[in-house]
Amino acid sequence: MTVALALFLVWSAAASAATFADLFRAGLDAEDAGNLDEALNRFTEALKMQPKSTHVWAKRGEVYLKKGNPQLAINDLVQAVKLDPAYAAAFTRLGFAYNATNDYDRALEALDMAVRLDPMSSEAYNTRGFAFNAKHDYGNAIKDFDKAIRLESKDARYYNNRGFAFNGKHEYDRAVEDFNRAIELDATKDMYFNNRGVAFLRKKQFDRALEDFDMALKLNSKSASAYHNRGMALSGKGRNEKAVEEFSKVIEMNQSSPILYKDRGTAYRKLGEYELALNDFEKAIELDKKFAPAYASLGLLYARATGSRIHNPTLALRMAEKAIELTNGTSPDMLENLAEVQQALNRNEEAVRTLRKALEMDPANQEYRELLARWQGPASPTAAEPNQTRTGPFTSLW
């Protein structure tokens, strides 16, 4: 090989490497500027030159996440962790992507690996806590958010997410404390006010809830969730006509959500507008034939619509039992609904037994306790205390 040829090959290799680096940097700059399509193009070109670059696979996956394409993100991030099984940040992003596709079991697998590889990553704990929240495993979610907060105490998201978990556990005072802290750290996020409003809503502090929902809407006038929750608070105050108006606003924004029709139907039922309620519940079921709360609400309508053609005890029980069947008997709320149906049909002893079963499944639920107290007096200690021998659904993961 001549000296000239050798120098040419060295120069070519250097030029190629520089070109790859330039493409990667151009992709990062485009991402920072919000030009996501340009970033994808640059990262794709870089991968053609170096198809085993774990960082480029991971970065392109991250851009796909930002573009709202979690499945494409998963494809890239799986490739990244295959190439480098010790790439903790890629496992965290992979868990985030699985969360975005509602595949929470795979998310937990990826995030278990992420925290094992990097036990000092607050973001890995936060993302895993999010997955636990989605699985209604609020105890483990809180443990992960605790770890995230210990590692990074100034991130408002972590307090917001832990507050969500406390809401799930019916620990509303602790939830409010967390949302307060999130708002102290970042008062620009409508979500934090909306979530605190939900805690006040569940505490039946409807005026404070409305204040938070109003603030959320001031920050984001298109927040469908805040409009929806305003409707729930207004209904809680007995202002069901205004609640119907709020639900109708949200339905205009999202006409394919069964929960919105279900909640508007409930407000109509409270107003005695049974035909309109029936139409909304049937619409909710048309949109999602497996949406258990719509069947539950329909059952309650058939039970309580006395003095109208809609009153039908047989259908009331059938719909309430259908809701329990759709949730495989695991939802205490569906059991509580059946109890309300039974009570409305003057089947009082059955109603009490059913409500006690719901309370055994969710012993911290104050609403169940209050309802049982109204029907028969305070719950017995055995019904009110958690079953200490019952294990959670994810013990095998630990």
Residue 152: HSE in the Cβ half-sphere, 13 Å Cα cutoff: 18
Q: Is residue 149 part of a domain?
A: no
Alpha carbon distances (Å) from 241 to 119, 250, 273 = 52, 15, 11
Contact 132, 102 (CB under 8 A): no
- What's the token pair of residue 67? 């573009």
At 50 the pLDDT is 94
Please report, as a single letter, which amino acid is at residue 251. I
At 18 the pLDDT is 52
Domain boundary among 85, 118, 151: 118
Q: Whose CA is closest to 206, among 198, 195, 218, 215?
A: 198
Q: Across all residues in the chain, what is the average pLDDT?
A: 90
- What's the token pair of residue 27? 């992709």
Domain boundary among 65, 95, 118: 118
59 three-state secondary structure: helix
Alpha carbon distances (Å) from 387 to 302, 353, 364 = 34, 17, 12
Q: Is residue 267 part of a domain?
A: no
Q: Is the pLDDT of residue 396 over 70?
A: no
Contact 317, 288 (CB under 8 A): no
At 366 the pLDDT is 87
Query: 244 burial class (0-12, 13-18, 19+ CB within 10 angstroms)?
Result: buried
Task: Compute the average pLDDT of residues 149-159.
Answer: 98
Angle at 103 between CA 162 and CA 115, to 5 degrees: 55
Q: Is residue 363 part of a domain?
A: no
The total number of residues shown for the chain amounts to 398
At 307 the pLDDT is 87
pLDDT digits 0-9 by tens, 40-87: 999 999 999 999 999 999 999 999 999 999 999 999 999 999 999 999
> Which residue range is the domain that position 198 belongs to?
193-246
Provide the sign of the torsion angle of the four alpha carbons 228, 230, 233, 237, taken in this order. negative
Distance CA 346, CA 49 (A): 75
Q: Is residue 309 part of a domain?
A: no
Q: Is residue 347 part of a domain?
A: no
Distance CA 187, CA 156 (A): 9
Domain boundary among 90, 118, 146: 118
> Token pair 């609904």 is at which residue?
337
At 376 the pLDDT is 83
- What's the token pair of residue 44? 């794709």
pLDDT digits 0-9 by tens, 111-150: 999 999 999 999 999 999 999 999 999 999 999 999 999 9
Higher-confidence position of 142 and 377: 142
Give the CATH number for residue 30.
1.25.40.10
Q: Is residue 182 part of a domain?
A: no
pLDDT digits 0-9 by tens, 313-331: 999 999 999 999 999 999 9
Task: Identify the band that residue 379 occupies on the pLDDT scale cut at 50, 70 and 90.
Answer: very low
Distance CA 191, CA 204 (A): 20
Q: Is residue 393 part of a domain?
A: no
Query: 116 burial class (0-12, 13-18, 19+ CB within 10 angstroms)?
Result: exposed
How many domains is the chain partitioned into structurally? 2
Distance CA 138, CA 133 (A): 6
30 and 114 assigned to the same domain: yes
Task: Compute the average pLDDT of residues 232-250.
Answer: 95
Task: Identify the band that residue 11 occupies on the pLDDT scale cut at 50, 70 and 90.
Answer: very low
Q: Is residue 16 part of a domain?
A: no
Q: Whose CA is closest to 146, among 3, 138, 225?
A: 138
Angle at 196 between CA 192 and CA 202, to 5 degrees: 150
At 160 the pLDDT is 97
pLDDT digits 0-9 by tens, 337-372: 999 999 999 999 999 999 999 999 999 888 899 999
At 393 the pLDDT is 29
Alpha carbon distances (Å) from 317 to 31, 291, 301 = 56, 17, 11
Distance CA 332, CA 162 (A): 23
